[in-house]
Amino acid sequence: MMYFLFKIYLISVFAGLINSKSEDKTSIPPNIFIYISDDQNQWDYGAYGNPEVSTSAADKLAIEGIKFNNAYTSQAICSPSRSQLFTGLYPVKNGCMANHLPVKNVKEINNFLQPLGYEVVLAGKVHIYPSKKFKWSQFFGKEKSRQIPLDKVEKYIENTDKPYCIIFSSDYPHGPYPKETPYLDMDLSYDPTTVEGKGQNSTFKAGYYQNIKDNNIQLEKTITMLSSLNVLDNGVFFYLSDHSLKGKWSVKETGLKIPLIVRWPKIIKKGIASNQIVSVIDILPTIIDIAGGKSNGLDGKSFLSILKGKEKPIKDYVYGVATRQNIQKCYVFPSRSVRDKKFKYIKNFNSSEVVQNNLGDNQEVNKFIIRGSNAFKETPYEELYDLENDPYEHNNIALIHSYQKIKEKLEVKLHDWMVEQGDFLITHKMPLIKPTFHPLDRISKFNKIDSSFESTLESKDYIPVHY
């Protein structure tokens, strides 16, 4: 009898050890993969309805995971969008409110994940400043061929024994675009953003589609490499574009709306779609949540609950920023936007309706303010769109009386957010941003200004900035 009881005891102890080990395994946070495409419209994917271009790798991720139909960046330009991803903060608050500007002294992805035991690896395009601010565990720059150095990433995975977050940052489909491509001989008229649902064929579009195809090949290679190392199915894979191309630089849906697909076989059901509003700023809090940390103090909100199948909103509003300074053409024409699940409100702060209110005593500064306003003469001060019925903003209803309460509500939301963010449009009349790459008063192939404008601005003409 005693022997029998002792035997049962040993079995129970052994079973407990097995269960304990099993629990330990499941409690280990997963490896995280983030793949960023550069300059690709949401509608230029098969998964989002495009029948003309090859995006089989991203489409397969959507079949095997979750596709977000209402995913946004807050600024449709490279550096600001990446700044949101890496800080979980809107671009005005993190400091990168124009292209090429550095982020402020704020916490970034490495500061959050490395204390949780993760190594953070960036492979490919950087386009975030200052480089010394981002303490990557490993950095593998893009190759001369514009390719992500997957061989170096593979070697890293083979030799590390730590959990990791690897960011694959593609240089595609961003230009330059090839002039010779089979797409030149194809019908490329699909464009749901137009009233007719069709666009025009062009050499530009053919080259853009070719770069999409090349990016698809690179994504396929990335997925194949991770699968061959037996790490793909045990991790969570985020796929997104930094912003859309057609509305680049603007706060229009054609600029801010992005693809976002997440694959996580252990958690996410296959082939589902979410209509909840999410933003690039929400990705870092979600990753921190997955890694077992806390994301206090960030603008973004974790959407881990949505990944787990709870189709409940994590936020009611997303916001948009456009400065149009420190980029090609360099117009002083800042805009801000806010959208809820149905409506979108835009305020263009230097429209022709209000430009006179933006002028001060400095005549040299005034010239650039007027130039910026003149470049968008047909753009009104306020815009309001019913995105359910007008998803690509063709019918401005801001002046229709029956929508005034909706407009006023969103205007208040936008103003309060700008105050909370410390937006320079709240504190300054119509500021010029000190350039780091594209000066307002320099003639270049990107900035065609009258010779009388050249070299007319001084340091004191710009707003104080943090760099």
Which residues are part of the catalytic machinery? 78
Question: Is residue 459 classed exposed, middle or buried when 0-12, 13-18 and 19+ CB atoms within 10 A define those classes?
Answer: exposed
Q: How many CB atoms lie within 10 A of CB 292?
A: 12
Cα separation of 246 and 239, whole Å? 20
Q: Are strands 335-339 and 318-322 parallel, antiparallel or unpaired?
A: antiparallel
**Nearest alpha-carbon partner for 344 in 269, 236, 250, 462:** 250
Assigned token pair, 310: 């709870």
Within 28-132, where are the H helices? 56-64, 78-87, 91-94, 109-113
Q: Give the strand order in the sheet containing 343-348.
A: 318-322, 335-339, 343-348, 382-386
**Nearest alpha-carbon partner for 393 in 327, 314, 337, 334:** 337
Cis peptide before 391 (omega within 30 of 0): no
Cα separation of 77 and 321, whole Å? 10
Angle subtended by helix axes 203-228 and 150-159, to nearest 10:
20
**Nearest alpha-carbon partner for 282 in 308, 260, 255, 300:** 300
Cα separation of 281 and 132, whole Å? 22
